[in-house]
Amino acid sequence: MEFKLKEGLLIGTATAATQIEGGDENNNWARFAAQGKVDDGTTPVRADDHYRRWKEDIDLMAEMGLQIYRFGVEWSRIEPSRNNFSQEALSHYRTEIEYMVSKGIKPMLTLHHFTNPLWFEDMGGWTQDEAVDIFLNFCNQVLDSMGDLVEDYITINEPNIYSTNSLFYGIWPPEKKSIAALAKSYTNMTRAHIAAYKLIHEKRLSMGKKRDETRVSFANHLRIFEPKNKGNLWHRFSAWLSEYLFQTAITHSMMTGQSRLPVLSLKGVEPGRYYDFIGINYYSRSTCSGIGDGVREGCDKNDLDWEIYHEGLIRLCQKLSATYGEEYPIFITENGTCDNSDSFRPRFIYDQLKLISETENRIQRYYHWSFTDNFEWREGEAARFGIVHVDYETQKRTVKESGKLITAIIRNQGVTKADYAKFVENSHYHK
């Protein structure tokens, strides 16, 4: 064996509803695309047609041996207008989950993954005072419909990415550039996560489930921030401040109910523990010579020019375990890379899982991003992250070499010498 998989580690994939489903024009990203603001001119209204092809996709997951699957429900389908809930959409998702479970795949349900119904967006989205109550009402309907089938939940995906891109840099809808709006969004998303955490546990207990049969957290986008020049005081301060503003404050606020600026006062929220596992979305390292992002010179990069830095995931796991409790399991709720030709993704998967397996950590789940190629937000269909190739014109699915490697890793509980030679040996990063 080249390496043996970490004992007990479950492996699967992650997706988001808007990025794969297609067919829905009632959300902020469909409108954004219709306005011509997606870089390659594509739209999530096409995507992977998963809303109609879900059975085919789940069958393929089962054939590939995937053990776990993180997926989302589309809020704008379930609540097309305020307080108007579609029983057809709720029934659709329940049927999909039932089929997933029947195939031996353990579901993790994401309640919010970047997209808002148009009516919610036009009210002000996450910057409005009613946002928390509105989101909780939506969560209540979802839990009533399918809460008995799902044990694992993500309340909100990457609140820091959503808020900074949408309300600070203004490169995502609604294209605002406002520190006040950013702070309001951070605050309301924190409140919403804490309220949803409580609601999910209450609902599941009322359904006769034991408390330890329900696991709830949020998925935060975490990076390693390091100074470009460690001897430069400004570079060091920039790395610290960028990390604090982007992830430290929001992570601490959502996990503990204790606000840290730019999260505003959480008056009425009792400090506590609002996570049952530590959820980490990890992709890259930022090299700082000023406030913001930067890429280290001469590093291995993916097709979006993000640095490939596997050690960063382990460093984050160790830091969060030390801060929030080594007794809590860690779920890697997203990890992957943009590789349009699938030329280095097999090596990426090999290197990351080998490091996870050979380093002491509390990682119990690894959700690779993503199952299929999909609509990758501002980049559109041009950025391919999937272990399954999608021909968007025909919607044909083809398992990539990286997908075959994941199947082999699950089957053999590690990487054999034969599989290394077949999938990894000739797979190389580029600078």
- Check residue 169 and give its pLDDT: 95
Q: With 80 as the cut, is the pLDDT of residue 98 above it?
A: yes
DSSP label of 105:
-
CA dist., res. 409 & res. 350, Å (int): 9
Alpha carbon 152 to its chain centroid, in Å, reads 14
Closest CA to 329 of 359, 353, 367, 363: 363
SS3 282: strand
Which tokens in the block code for residue 12?
Answer: 């699967």
**E-assigned strands of 289-413?**
330-336, 363-369, 388-391, 396-399
Placement of tokens 């924190």 in the chain: 190
- Check residue 267 and give its pLDDT: 87
Residue type, 123: M
Just give the CATH number of 3-424. Answer: 3.20.20.80
pLDDT tens for 269-327 read 999 999 999 999 999 999 999 887 889 888 999 999 999 999 999 999 999 999 999 99
- Check residue 303 and give its pLDDT: 95
pLDDT tens for 187-224 read 999 999 999 999 999 999 999 999 999 999 999 999 99
